[in-house]
């Protein structure tokens, strides 16, 4: 009988991809099978995120809960960004943890599970050319890492500390992985990196010159691949060439995540984002002029140290002008090993009052809800191309994502799962669109 693996994945798409790698490695090399019940697992893994303080703090109570319910001989491993960040300390603080594996060291998973009470968190480790085992289960959508780490030093962000410097994965490996996905039935590929459009700036060994725009073009030539998405691009690197390829390549979905962080050029400077409010709006305008139906998502931090009401109004102004389709918004959380954290420690800046930050976050969320309701209502009668991903047997509807990344439900038959269908929108419920096959 195969051993059972339970894995909990927190954080961003990079962590989801790392978990997929871990699962594939353990299935192939160590004969594990996935379970969604920690009580029957032989190995429990927590793939952690440390981008904000709260989830990181919850880690130890979570370990305690798993330790209570686990089988007697089951092991517990902590992986991901908090593993990189806290390393050995996790072993010191919790006797229940068997090993700690950093976000940069995922390729060593099948070795570390045989070790006792070790922490492998080598931040300089380079697994950019490691070929991970392939997941055998065919899936409509696949994720591919195109780079590891991040070279930016945004002053609020712990990621460069947890994932190390940025290295691009060789283009041939990416193309091979994409072809393997397509051969097993995958229709849509999501390219991943902390800063995807910086692709090609540094490889670990000599490589032909290639940038993100060229990579997108090469991937799109794979026969049988229908859709390409990517996340996250950095607004600074969205040059005209990229925008033209994005607009004219029919396989690239017309949805983009553009992390704004703040609408105030002053705050953006303090965040070291490298662009201004005007540049961000200019890029949006250029893309919208070529792709009127473009859907734009974003990340926003409120309450970055020194953010004034005027700064925040600039953020609201960008929201009014861009009318984002999705907004992930967060209150600033001070993270160790970041520049802003040192400014706070040295009293050079102060935190925005918590109540004020909460009030700003609510204002932002409320206004975005109104915008979304107004814009979604305009979708009624329009036709969207939807990749049908699943069929709900109980309620008898199909579900999928439009080219513009909106969740769409359709009352129809199961047989359409896996197809790209034109759907006419008839109704809107919150962020969800409901329609009929056109
Ligand atoms: N590489 C991506 C972001 C990765 S982190 C980019 O450049 O946008 C994901 C999101 O978490 C960020 O976009 C940011 O909005 C948020 N975030 C990062 N550090 C944070 C902090 N210290 N406090 C609050 N939110 C933070
Ligand atoms: Fe963090 Fe900035 Fe890198 Fe994104 S680009 S991961 S926000 S340092
Ligand atoms: Fe992702 Fe969280 Fe790490 S957002 S990169 S898992 S700190």
Judged by phi (left if over 0) then psi (alpha if -120 to 50, else beta), residue 190 lies in beta
* Sequence ranges of the domains in the chain: 3-120, 141-376, 383-437
Q: Which residues pair with 4 in a beta bridge?
A: 33
Pick the CATH number of 141-376 from 3.80.30.20, 3.30.2420.10, 3.30.930.10, 3.40.50.300: 3.80.30.20
**In this predicted structure, what is the pLDDT of residue 88?**
96
- Residues framing ligand 2 (Cβ under 6 A): 150, 152, 154, 157, 159-160, 194-195, 234
Compute, in angstroms, the gap from residue 154 CA to the centroid of ligand 2. Answer: 6
Instruction: Output the six-digit token pair for 134.
Output: 């392939």
Ligand 2, atom 1, lies closest to the CA of: 157
β-strands 167-168, 147-148 pairing: antiparallel
Sequence-distant (6+) residues with CB within 8 A of 185 are 138, 139, 140, 418
Encode 293-338 in three state secondary structure. CCEEEEEEEECCCCCCHHHHHHHHHHHHHHCCCEEEEEECCCCCCC
Query: What parts of the chain have a pLDDT lower than 50?
Result: none
Do 78 and 66 contact (CB within 8 A), yes or no? no
Taking the CB of residue 326, how many other CB atoms lie within 10 A of it?
Answer: 16
**In this predicted structure, what is the pLDDT of residue 296?**
98
pTM, to two decimals: 0.96
**In this predicted structure, what is the pLDDT of residue 415?**
79
For 306-350, the pLDDT digits (tens) are 999 999 999 999 999 999 999 999 999 999 999 999 999 999 999
Q: Is 50 in the pocket of ligand 3 (CB under 6 A)?
A: yes
Relative to the CA of 158, which ligand 2 atom is closest? 1
Compute, in angstroms, the gap from residue 16 CA to the centroid of ligand 3. Answer: 10
d(CA 64, CA 51): 22
| CATH code of the domain made up of 3-120 | 3.40.50.12160
The correct answer on CATH 3.20.20.140 for the domain covering 383-437 is: no
**In this predicted structure, what is the pLDDT of residue 372?**
94
Compute, in angstroms, the gap from residue 129 CA to the centroid of ligand 3. Answer: 21
Compute, in angstroms, the gap from residue 262 CA to the centroid of ligand 2. Answer: 14
Q: Count Cα neighbours of 135 within 13 Å in the Cβ-side half-sphere.
A: 22
Ligand nearest to the CA of 333: 1
Among 8, 103, 195, 261, which is best to mutate for testing ligand 3, by the most ligand atoms less than 8 A from CB? 103
**In this predicted structure, what is the pLDDT of residue 257?**
98
């Amino acid at each position: 009988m195969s051993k059972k693996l339970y894995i909990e994945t927190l954080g961003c798409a990079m962590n989801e991809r790392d978990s997929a790698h871990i699962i594939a490695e353990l299935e192939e090399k160590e004969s594990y099978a996935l379970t969604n019940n920690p009580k029957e697992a032989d190995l429990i893994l927590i793939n952690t995120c440390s981008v904000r303080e709260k989830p990181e703090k919850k880690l130890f109570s979570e370990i305690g809960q798993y330790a209570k319910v686990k089988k007697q001989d089951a092991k517990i491993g902590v992986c991901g960004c908090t593993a990189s960040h806290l390393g050995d300390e996790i072993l010191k603080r919790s006797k229940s943890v068997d090993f700690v594996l950093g976000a940069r060291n995922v390729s060593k998973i099948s070795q570390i599970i045989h070790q006792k009470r070790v922490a492998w968190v080598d931040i300089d480790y380079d697994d950019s050319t490691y070929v991970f085992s392939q997941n055998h289960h065919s899936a409509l959508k696949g994720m591919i890492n195109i780079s590891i780490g991040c070279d930016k030093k945004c002053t609020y962000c712990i990621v460069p500390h947890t994932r190390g410097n940025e290295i691009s994965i060789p283009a041939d490996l990416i193309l091979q992985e994409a072809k393997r996905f397509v051969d097993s039935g995958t229709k849509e590929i999501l390219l991943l990196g902390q800063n995807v459009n910086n692709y090609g700036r540094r490889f670990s060994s000599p490589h032909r010159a290639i940038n993100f725009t060229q990579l997108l073009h090469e991937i799109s030539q794979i026969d049988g691949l229908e859709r390409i998405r990517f996340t996250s691009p950095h607004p600074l690197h969205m040059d005209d060439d990229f925008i033209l390829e994005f607009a004219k390549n029919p396989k690239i979905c017309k949805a983009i995540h553009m992390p704004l962080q703040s609408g105030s050029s002053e705050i953006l400077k303090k965040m070291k984002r490298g662009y201004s409010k005007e540049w961000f709006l200019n890029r949006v305008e250029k893309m919208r002029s070529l792709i009127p139906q473009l859907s734009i998502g974003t990340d926003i931090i409120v309450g970055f140290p020194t953010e004034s009401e005027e700064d925040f109004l600039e953020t609201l102004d960008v929201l009014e002008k861009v009318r984002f389709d999705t907004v992930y918004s967060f209150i600033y959380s001070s993270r160790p090993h970041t520049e802003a954290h040192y400014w706070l420690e040295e009293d050079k800046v102060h935190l925005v009052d918590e109540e004020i930050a909460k009030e700003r976050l609510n204002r932002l969320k409320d206004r975005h809800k109104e915008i979304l309701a107004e814009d979604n209502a305009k979708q009624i009668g329009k036709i969207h191309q939807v990749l049908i991903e699943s069929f709900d047997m109980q309620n008898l509807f199909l579900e999928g994502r439009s080219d513009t990344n909106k969740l769409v439900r359709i009352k129809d038959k199961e047989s359409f799962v896996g197809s790209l269908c034109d759907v006419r929108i008839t109704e809107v419920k919150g962020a969800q669109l409901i329609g009929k096959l056109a």
